[in-house]
Chains A and B, each alone.
Chain A
Amino acid sequence: MPSQPAARKPVNLNILGVVPFAIFALMFLILPTSTLMVGAFQDANGHFTLENLRQLFDTNVRDAYWISFKISMVSSMGGGVLGFILAWAAVLGKLPAWIRPTLLTFSGVASNFAGVPLAFAFLSTLGRLGLVTVLLRSWFDINIYSTGFSILSFVGLTITYLYFQIPLMVLIVTPALEGLKKEWREACDCLGGTTFQYWRFVALPVLWPSIVGATLLLFANAFGAVATAYALTGSALNIVPIMLYAQIRGDVLHNPNLGYAMALGMIVITGLANTGYMVLRSRSDKRRA
């Protein structure tokens, strides 16, 4: 309503609003990346080639993308659900007031507690000589390693990834939970609705776009993570960032053009995931409107 007058002018002015962001993104993200990404289409002498892109479909690279995808999917779904529950408990669970700020600030620190310190922390906790492993054996006579569990496995890696995924979810979803109006709950109660009906028909539909958006962030976060996986399972894990780094930085392989091609592949996959998220969200937006 406020922008009814001259049909042309508001459109121009509106675009101006994102100009600072566009300039920043161009100068500090898109252009610097592009100057190197052209390397994905070049060979070692700088000539144009599609060989690097073709190599992306080699078995070992395809396997790497698949495992990367799997671990990102699992840790983002798991982190999404568990993070949501934790955030719900802190915001709507009627717990003492000091718990929420403590959880939020702790989540802030934990969300970036990744890489070597995190891997080492989990090795010290659930490794063969880890604190919990040893205590379980000496206090309760339970040997978790005899059940086939190992921290150096897909499951172990996921458990470790959750340490920074869950806090990330908590931080992003808490403002949305805080925004749920009390009146909606009261209205639902007045109309005789159960807790389940409240969540199914009122709260979750409202929160859905935020939850999905946050989960997408978790996915991309895990997809690009390398330090933790490298420090934990190093030579036993074949994920794309590790392969990428081996090409760009390694002592031995050093085909940076292939590395850039792999990075390009990661960007494409992230773009696809983002599109999927758009589709999911627009469907729920339509239902709301």
Chain B
Amino acid sequence: MSRYTLSTLAVAALAVCGTQASLAQSDQLVTAAKAEGQLTVIALPRSWCGYGPIIDAFKAKYGIKVNELNPDAGSGDEVEAIKANKDNKGPQAPDTIDVGLSFGPSAKAAGLIQPYKVSTWASIPDSTKDADGFWYGDYYGVLTLQVNADLVTKLPQDWSDLLKPEYKNAVALAGDPRASNQAIQAVYAAGLSAAGGDASKASAAGLKFFADLNKAGNFVPVIGKAASLAQGTTPIIISWDYNALADRDKLNGNPKVQVVVPKTGVVAGVYVQAISAYAPHPNAAKLWMEYLYSDEGQQALLNGYCHPIRFNDMVAKNKFSKASLDKLPPAAGYAKAAFPSLDQQNAAKEAITKQWDAVVGATVK
């Protein structure tokens, strides 16, 4: 009897001090999540960081149904989806979001997310998480040159190579630099290379680089995707390494794809996770986070070619499979990766989105 009371008290105590305390994949959390029965995620394309297999593994492990909303959504879409579904407990309301670094603080300020610290919280680098636990970085990648090796025989090795005449009508971005994080970081990275590593001059130098690229006739203003890469309209695409590598696998040699990490100007982009303040299934959301940040989850991200945020910690403890490490581009390329701070990112955003049309002038009139 007393043992029963004691354990009940213990459980109650845990629950009381619990919303911010990590529960790990404890039975309690699992039971609560299973009782909710469903998890709604948004903006997780199946081939982005290998999210497809991750979601399937989560479903298989816990038997919780996963509702995948709008895989093509941008970070802005996700925030708007939380806002629009404030009172909605139906399957249209997202439980968790995966957004660009700068969206973490703005979502927190707008009161759209709730705090939660996973059990492996300590091994997440401080610069990539919110001290109060509202948002936390989950993975990063670096910008690379994705090349259709059937059409482009001489591979570019660095940003400056792209200006050469043999790459006429060849270079494209993977998004719209007035709206897409990937494209803006690409301009920033080119600028960082041209400015010799000086972050304060990177945006201006990047815009100038693309203006020169456009004048030389090398820039193609089409948004690059796997289809346009294969068809030949955009034989060189500047994209995140994990997307480039996933495309390479999907295309399966038809055409042959090479992924090149540039020699200079290697920029890393961090994406953060957060739980919606209005989540209809908060426990399922917490279990999902625990899963993502567990060794199993981080290994799965690596299998999808994303660098998981606990990369350094897990490499030191030798926790990754050798096969998965070998499939990545050489580690030397990543050693010099620059991680732009929030302020640097905001400044770059401001400059590039406002001046792209005027400076680069690749406009259709």
Given known pairs A236-B363, A238-B357, the reply for A250 and B221 (CB within 8 Å) is no
16 new A-B contacts at CB < 8 Å, known A235-B362, A243-B178: A123-B233, A127-B232, A127-B233, A128-B232, A129-B231, A231-B223, A235-B178, A235-B223, A236-B363, A238-B363, A242-B176, A246-B179, A249-B74, A249-B76, A250-B76, A253-B349
B365 CB contacts on chain A under 8 angstroms: 67, 154
The reply to whether the CB of B228 lies closer than 8 angstroms to some CB of chain A is yes
A234 engages B232 (CB within 8 Å): no
Contact digits for A83-125, partner B, Cβ 8 Å, 1 yes 0 no:
0000000000000000000000000000000000000100110
**Interface size range on B against A:** 35 or more
Please give me the 5 A-B residue pairs with the lowest Cβ-Cβ distance, nearest first.
A236-B221, A250-B179, A246-B179, A129-B232, A251-B181
Bound CA–CA A251/B181 (angstroms)? 5
Query: From residue 200 to 234 of chain A, which have CB atoms closer than 8 A to chain B?
Result: 230-234
B228 engages A123 (CB within 8 Å): yes
The reply to whether the CB of B266 lies closer than 8 angstroms to some CB of chain A is no
The reply to whether the CB of A60 lies closer than 8 angstroms to some CB of chain B is yes
B180 engages A250 (CB within 8 Å): yes
B181 CB contacts on chain A under 8 angstroms: 251-252
Query: Dominant SS at the A interface?
Result: helix
Q: In the complex, which residue of chain A has the Cβ closest to the Cβ of B220? A: A152
Given known pairs A152-B221, A235-B221, the reply for A253 and B353 (CB within 8 Å) is yes
Q: In the complex, which residue of chain B has the Cβ closest to the Cβ of A127? A: B233
A123 engages B231 (CB within 8 Å): yes
B182 CB contacts on chain A under 8 angstroms: 251
A60 engages B357 (CB within 8 Å): yes
A123 CB contacts on chain B under 8 angstroms: 222, 228, 231, 233
The contact of B80 among A120, A124, A236, A256, by CB within 8 Å, is A256
Q: In the complex, which residue of chain A has the Cβ closest to the Cβ of B176? A: A235
The reply to whether the CB of B211 lies closer than 8 angstroms to some CB of chain A is no
User: Which has the most chain B C-beta neighbours within 10 Å: A127, A129, A232, A250?
Assistant: A250
Bound CA–CA A127/B73 (angstroms)? 28
User: Which has the most chain B C-beta neighbours within 10 Å: A129, A235, A245, A256?
Assistant: A235
Task: Report A's interface with B, CB cutoff 8 A.
Answer: 60, 63, 67, 120, 123-124, 127-129, 152-154, 157, 230-238, 242-243, 245-254, 256
Query: From residue 231 to 287 of chain B, which have CB atoms closer than 8 A to chain A?
Result: 231-233
Bound CA–CA A230/B225 (angstroms)? 13
Bound CA–CA A89/B68 (angstroms)? 48
The reply to whether the CB of B161 lies closer than 8 angstroms to some CB of chain A is no
Bound CA–CA A245/B176 (angstroms)? 11
B178 engages A120 (CB within 8 Å): no
B335 CB contacts on chain A under 8 angstroms: none
Q: In the complex, which residue of chain B has the Cβ closest to the Cβ of A229? A: B364
A35 nearest CB across to chain B (Å)? 10
Given known pairs A123-B231, A128-B232, A153-B364, the reply for A235 and B106 (CB within 8 Å) is no
The contact of B177 among A124, A127, A235, by CB within 8 Å, is A235
A236 CB contacts on chain B under 8 angstroms: 221, 362-364
A246 CB contacts on chain B under 8 angstroms: 176, 178-179
B222 engages A248 (CB within 8 Å): no
Could you show 26 A-B contacts with beta carbons less than 8 Å apart? A60-B357, A120-B227, A123-B222, A123-B231, A123-B233, A127-B231, A127-B232, A128-B169, A129-B233, A152-B222, A234-B176, A235-B177, A235-B178, A235-B362, A236-B364, A237-B363, A245-B179, A246-B179, A248-B76, A249-B179, A250-B74, A251-B74, A251-B100, A251-B181, A253-B76, A256-B76
